Structure 1
Amino acid sequence: MSFAHDFDAHSAWRREQAQRLRTLADALAARDLLDAGLHERLERLQRQLQTDKVMVAFVAEFSRGKSELINAVFFAGYGRRIMPASAGRTTMCPTELGYDPELPPCLRLLPIETRLQPQSLLEWRSAPERWERIDLDVQDPEQLARAIEKVAEVQRVPVEQARALGFWHDDSPEDNPLPGADGLVEVPRWRHALINMAHPLLKQGLVVLDTPGLNAIGAEPELTVGLLPLAQAVVFVLAADAGVSKSDLAMWREHLAPAAEGVDARLVVLNKIDVLWDGLSTPAEIDGQIERQRATTAQVLGVEPAQVIAVSAQKGLVAKVRGDAALLADSRLPDLERALTDAVLQRRRDDLGGRVDAALAAVVAEIEQRWRLREREWQDQIDELDGLRGKNTAVIAQMRRRIEQEQRDFDAGGMRIQALRSVHLKLLRDLFGLLGSQSLQAGVASLAAALRQPGVKLGIRRTYTDAFARLHATLDEARRKADEVQAMLQASFRSLNAEYGFALQLPGGLDLSPFAAELRDIERSHLQYLGLTNVLRLAQAEYADRLAKAVVGRLKAVFDAASAEVESWNKAAAAQLDAQLRERRRHFARRLEAVHRIEAAAGGLDERLAELQAQREGAARDVEALRRLLNRPDRPNRPDSPLVSALEPAAPGHPDQP
């Protein structure tokens, strides 16, 4: 099976999971059980399933066959090369391939001169007028390939400009481009490229990141700080005949290995194994050479041998285009596609599936709680009404007055509930303050200022360590405050349950530890920028400013995500209280209505008792249907499924049926 086939299956699975959530939400809404908290959680999960992206980043020095590998894995269906992959330097700027339905198919190119300006890549994304745009015809592979060739364009500039742009380093003359007779040197024309096209895989959420060369990746900290950590897989491409060169090792150690620590998978590809097919060696001898190269590469890079995969991208592409199964097997490209599937798609499915199942389990637990509360209230009402058999109108009137007094007492207790809400909101404001933008800016202010100082950054590591120590302390305080919020709500819910017979329960734990772990990953992944190899780069004001913005941007994403987690958890807790308050008021209204009906007609008692019993039985069937949904996590919910038939909208005429 190809990666494209497996990705199709992954996308179909995501659609099935989203349909499960929609079916559940519709069923709950039909019975007035979909409160704001449940609705928010189910909607949030649906959005995650529908918009989930899987990014695969390809990183290599020039002429390793990286673009050819992208063609072979993802775009062989076009019957030709889409990414430029001719001899020599091809992809000269970082290129993202994805799909945004709000945009037409197009190639957008950011001029390299924007490196001389203070805006970050993220900021440039919101300035479309600064990008050169070329419309793409996805039905015409020839036009598509010609347009995308622009990512390989270069221009010639003076050495001074190359130095300012980050392509000339006085301390590493061996890595500098060769000046021509006119004294000019060659640099990329574009800083970044975005390709938006309705390719089937891209439409389903795949994002491919193609990054070129040590000079390009080293000069753009936002790549290693911002984009690579977002990738589910990072594929590092080497040439099988050369092994790990000095520049390969420098890229791996200085940029790739630290930045990729948090991604799901790091794979190393030994490309161009077809150069070993010399006709003089036996297949066994060739296999032996490949295995020795894999073992040596794994040892040099410090990875497991299973993470090193030998392929021939060029032969794999030819084999797919021609439908040559034997050549495809010889190219070993299926080995890489299986590794991507196992390391990326299966982990992604496990992660998303775990969230869906946890959400469904929490929903069923809440509905069961409400069912038990309603069942108790129904039983109380049945006992209450049953006790009226044979009683005169005076006794019935007395019961009505008693219910009305209970209702007034309950309404009077609302002041206490409001006081609890006030304390809860104060604690929440403190928690949101710790996770807000002002708190983050205060934590990194000294680091940002130190990075933007002109010249050599003496003591920058200490400043960096101190800044992250403050951020860790802030998150630790936020975690303590979150524990305080949970403890306060737990005590309040216990008190309300005892006093009013509610069935309130906290919606799972409010756990901020994953964000603290992400903060530690960010701290580790940035340390390489503060070492001796980057002293001269850090002395450049433009580079240091880009690094500062990249660091702050990633930190902001972590704090924003933590704040969103708190908000979602709080909505679930608050909505549960609101739902049970509303249900209790309805309960008083139903009791009074039943007594009024009994006062008005002698036959009303038996009729009301039968209604209550029918409601109990209907609610029990609903809960059982929800349990069946939870126990069939991989079965799509077709319109004729037992779940849908069991959870059809409530019949008209019974507005209080759960």
Structure 2
Amino acid sequence: MSFNQEFDDHGVWRRQFALRLKLMSEWLQDHELLEAGVRERLDQLHAQVRNDKIMVAFVAEFSRGKSELINAVFFAGYGRRIMPASAGRTTMCPTELGYDSEVPPCLRLLPIETRLQSKSLLEWRNAPDKWERVDLDVNDPQQLARAIQKVAEVRRVTRSEATALGFWNDELPDDNPVMGSDGMIEVPKWRHALINMAHPLLKQGLVILDTPGLNAIGAEPELTVSLLPQAHAVVFILGADTGVTKSDLAIWRQHIAGLPEGQASRLVVLNKIDTMWDALSTPEQVQLQIAAQRTESADVLGLSPLQVIAVSAQKGLLAKVSRDERLLQASNLMELETALGVDLLGQRRRILGAAVASAMQALRQETGRLVHTRARDLVEQVQELEGLRGKNAGVIKQMRLRIEQEQAEFDASGAKIQAVRSVHLRLLKHLFSLLGHSHLKSRVTELARALKQPGIKLGVRRAYGHTFELLRADLLKADQLASEIQSMLEGSFKGLNAEYGFSLQPPTPPQLQQYLKDLELIEKSHLQYLSLGNALRLAQPEFGERLARALMSRLRVVYDTAVNAVELWNKSAAAQLDAQLRERRRNFSRRIEAVSRIQQAASGLDERIRELQSQQADLNLVDAKLVELTGQLLESPEAAQAEVVEA
């Protein structure tokens, strides 16, 4: 199947999963099993699947046909080009295409002058009034294409302005744009563009990142150290007629080769193979030339030839628009779409499948314990009432007094349970402080200061190393503290279980060590950026400041994720204790009510026992239904995809 078809099926699975999750939440609510910890876990899982984004980044030097490739793969259904793809430089600023239902269809453009201010791109995203907005009519392809043409706009500035904006460096003459006869320099008018439109693929969570050439990439460190490393697939485009040029190799080595294996699918597209369709050569000879170019490009980039796909984006777009199957086959575009579908979606399905399995296992444990508690209470009530058969009113009265005494003793135990909570919260406060924004900022302060210093930064690599050593030590300390809290919970819960007959079991603690891998990836992407080729660029204080802001933005995402994991663990433990307390209080009320009914009517005993036995049967059905519902949600995305295809 093509990438579009694969993605459609992936979207169907996500919608089916969301529906099943909603039905399960309602069922748990109806059966009073939707405790706070369970609700939090379901909400997080629902948000993860609903908001799952798949970012495909297209990277190339100018004039490699990158925008045309995006048109061919994603927007051929409009019957024309949507992204500007004329000869020469087209996309002048990084452009993201995605969908947000809360924002009307529009193009938002961030002025290039914002580079002069001390804010990261992430911070600018939260200041929508600073972006120029152009409304889009997604039902009018001509208006859509005309509006998006704005991403190609430029402005002419003086050399000093170009230097301040990061597009001119006297020490790097080869990277500088051509200066006009009037001494003016052409630079992008916009720093970043966001296109929000309800394209079917974008609505399902696809995000397309269209990047400009080498000079623009290097001038925006946040793009290189944040957006590209977070892309799920990077498509690097070369020209079939040129192969790997010097500037192509510079982009590859500085921005793509260092991306971690397995973190993102990396595909190289040898575009414009139609330039090799020579009427004086046989089809076999043309194919041999293309194969040779693929092999040579793969060798230069250090890849397998299987990772290099030769296509003609222009002919592929034309073939889709004109419905020419022979031309589409000759363009080889479907091979690229298949590779994207297999590699990219396969990776996302595995990640989502693992998240679902983990969440369902925890949910089964938490709700299963609650069902077990209710079943045990019912058995105890039946046994208690069976013991009253043939007893006189005095014995029944004594039983009621004993239950009331047990209830009073249990209510008086609140101080002991509150002590468990207070110790737990005190340790958690320390844990949250280790993962908080203030502590993180203090750890990055020294590095940020080093990056902002003018001149060649000989010690900046050492500053990175020291900063990340501190961050790793903090995470390991936080992980150790989480283990101590878990041990405390296990001891406290064991004592409460023994004293009050609870069935408390601490939820699995967050594995904070897993975020060490995220730190490693962030550090690697930054160290890759400290290559000799960027040394002179790094000498500019404003550039170093942008790099520091990009680092802080990305670290915050990691730490916020860790904090969310700790909060879920805390809520699960607290909710479990609350649920057991609530069930115990309900149990006392039901026991007293049952004895009262028996005191009032001789037939009350048998009637109450039958009611309890009926509740036991209903609870067995609830337990079976719980297994069935979680089993449906545990169905792997791959299996669900097979069901969709068969249907």
Say yes or no: TM over 0.5. Answer: yes
Is 1:414 the counterpart of 2:408 in the alignment?
Answer: no
2:274 alignment partner in structure 1: 274
Gaps of 5+ in 2: 637-647
CA distance in 1, matches of 2:175, 2:372: 72
CA distance in 2, matches of 1:540, 1:453: 8
Q: Bigger CA drift: 392-401 or 526-535?
A: 526-535
1:32 alignment partner in structure 2: 32
1:462 alignment partner in structure 2: 462
Q: Bigger CA drift: 587-596 or 97-106?
A: 97-106
Give the letter aligned to residue 385 of structure 1: L
> How many residue pairs end up in the alignment?
636
> Contact conserved, 1:53 with 1:207, CA < 8 A, in 2?
yes
1:642 alignment partner in structure 2: none
**Counterparts in 2 of 1:506 and 1:284: CA distance versus 1, 3 Å:** farther
CA distance in 2, matches of 1:633, 1:296: 47
Give SS of 2:58's match: strand
Q: Bigger CA drift: 566-575 or 195-204?
A: 195-204
**Deviation digits for residues 599-648 of structure 1 (CA, Å, limit 9, x no counterpart):** 11101001110011111111111111121223334879xxxxxxxxxxxx
1:183 alignment partner in structure 2: 183
CA distance in 1, matches of 2:171, 2:3: 43
Give the letter aligned to residue 626 of structure 1: L
**Counterparts in 2 of 1:275 and 1:172: CA distance versus 1, 3 Å:** same
CA distance in 1, matches of 2:151, 2:364: 52
2:575 alignment partner in structure 1: 575
> Contact conserved, 2:56 with 2:207, CA < 8 A, in 1?
yes
> Contact conserved, 1:364 with 1:623, CA < 8 A, in 2?
no
Q: CA deviation at 1:535?
A: 1.9
Q: Bigger CA drift: 255-264 or 55-64?
A: 255-264
Aligned 1:400-479 pairs, distance under 5 A? 400-479=400-479
> Contact conserved, 2:456 with 2:539, CA < 8 A, in 1?
yes
2:614 alignment partner in structure 1: 614
**Deviation digits for residues 2-21 of structure 1 (CA, Å, limit 9, x no counterpart):** 32222111111001111111
Give SS of 1:236's match: strand
CA distance in 2, matches of 1:367, 1:308: 50
Give SS of 1:87's match: coil
1:330 alignment partner in structure 2: 330
Give the letter aligned to residue 563 of structure 2: S
> Contact conserved, 2:120 with 2:553, CA < 8 A, in 1?
no
1:318 alignment partner in structure 2: 318
Q: Bigger CA drift: 87-96 or 108-117?
A: 108-117
Gaps of 5+ in 1: 637-658
2:205 alignment partner in structure 1: 205
Q: Bigger CA drift: 321-330 or 388-397?
A: 321-330
> Contact conserved, 2:434 with 2:474, CA < 8 A, in 1?
yes
1:486 alignment partner in structure 2: 486
Is 1:297 the counterpart of 2:297 in the alignment?
Answer: yes
CA distance in 2, matches of 1:440, 1:633: 37
CA distance in 2, matches of 1:507, 1:307: 43
**Counterparts in 2 of 1:94 and 1:261: CA distance versus 1, 3 Å:** farther
**Deviation digits for residues 528-557 of structure 1 (CA, Å, limit 9, x no counterpart):** 232322221112121111001001111111
CA distance in 2, matches of 1:9, 1:28: 28
Q: Percent of pairs identical after alignment?
A: 62
Give the letter aligned to residue 379 of structure 1: V
Q: Bigger CA drift: 466-475 or 530-539?
A: 530-539
Q: CA deviation at 1:400?
A: 0.8
2:365 alignment partner in structure 1: 365
CA distance in 2, matches of 1:84, 1:72: 12
Is 1:88 the counterpart of 2:88 in the alignment?
Answer: yes
Give the letter aligned to residue 578 of structure 2: D
Give SS of 1:631's match: helix
Give SS of 1:488's match: helix
1:151 alignment partner in structure 2: 151
CA distance in 1, matches of 2:372, 2:322: 64
Q: CA deviation at 1:224?
A: 1.3
CA distance in 2, matches of 1:633, 1:324: 42
Give SS of 1:58's match: strand
2:383 alignment partner in structure 1: 383
2:250 alignment partner in structure 1: 250
**Deviation digits for residues 562-594 of structure 1 (CA, Å, limit 9, x no counterpart):** 011100111111101110110011111111111
CA distance in 2, matches of 1:50, 1:252: 33
Q: CA deviation at 1:492?
A: 1.6
Q: TM-score, normalised by structure 1?
A: 0.94
CA distance in 1, matches of 2:124, 2:453: 23
> Contact conserved, 1:166 with 1:215, CA < 8 A, in 2?
no
Q: CA deviation at 1:513?
A: 2.1
CA distance in 2, matches of 1:283, 1:588: 86
1:647 alignment partner in structure 2: none
2:522 alignment partner in structure 1: 522
CA distance in 1, matches of 2:43, 2:590: 32
2:221 alignment partner in structure 1: 221
**Deviation digits for residues 356-379 of structure 1 (CA, Å, limit 9, x no counterpart):** 233223222322222222222211
Q: CA deviation at 1:236?
A: 0.9
Give SS of 1:186's match: strand
Q: Bigger CA drift: 574-583 or 360-369?
A: 360-369
Give the letter aligned to residue 590 of structure 1: R
Is 1:540 the counterpart of 2:540 in the alignment?
Answer: yes
2:161 alignment partner in structure 1: 161
**Deviation digits for residues 110-158 of structure 1 (CA, Å, limit 9, x no counterpart):** 2222222222212222233332222111111111111111111122222
**Deviation digits for residues 318-373 of structure 1 (CA, Å, limit 9, x no counterpart):** 11101111111111111111111111122212221322233223222322222222
Give SS of 2:257's match: helix
Give the letter aligned to residue 228 of structure 2: L
1:196 alignment partner in structure 2: 196
1:10 alignment partner in structure 2: 10
> Contact conserved, 1:357 with 1:630, CA < 8 A, in 2?
no
Is 1:596 the counterpart of 2:592 in the alignment?
Answer: no
Structure 1 stretches of 4+ moved >6 Å:
none
Q: Bigger CA drift: 509-518 or 396-405?
A: 509-518
> Contact conserved, 1:315 with 1:327, CA < 8 A, in 2?
yes
**Counterparts in 2 of 1:269 and 1:358: CA distance versus 1, 3 Å:** same
2:51 alignment partner in structure 1: 51
**Counterparts in 2 of 1:133 and 1:37: CA distance versus 1, 3 Å:** same
2:560 alignment partner in structure 1: 560
CA distance in 1, matches of 2:622, 2:159: 74
Q: Bigger CA drift: 253-262 or 465-474?
A: 253-262
1:645 alignment partner in structure 2: none
Q: CA deviation at 1:260?
A: 5.7
Q: CA deviation at 1:455?
A: 2.4
> Contact conserved, 1:298 with 1:305, CA < 8 A, in 2?
yes
2:139 alignment partner in structure 1: 139
> Contact conserved, 2:239 with 2:270, CA < 8 A, in 1?
yes
Q: Bigger CA drift: 237-246 or 596-605?
A: 237-246
CA distance in 2, matches of 1:491, 1:306: 56
> Contact conserved, 1:52 with 1:205, CA < 8 A, in 2?
yes
> Contact conserved, 2:356 with 2:634, CA < 8 A, in 1?
no
Give the letter aligned to residue 551 of structure 1: L
Q: CA deviation at 1:175?
A: 2.8
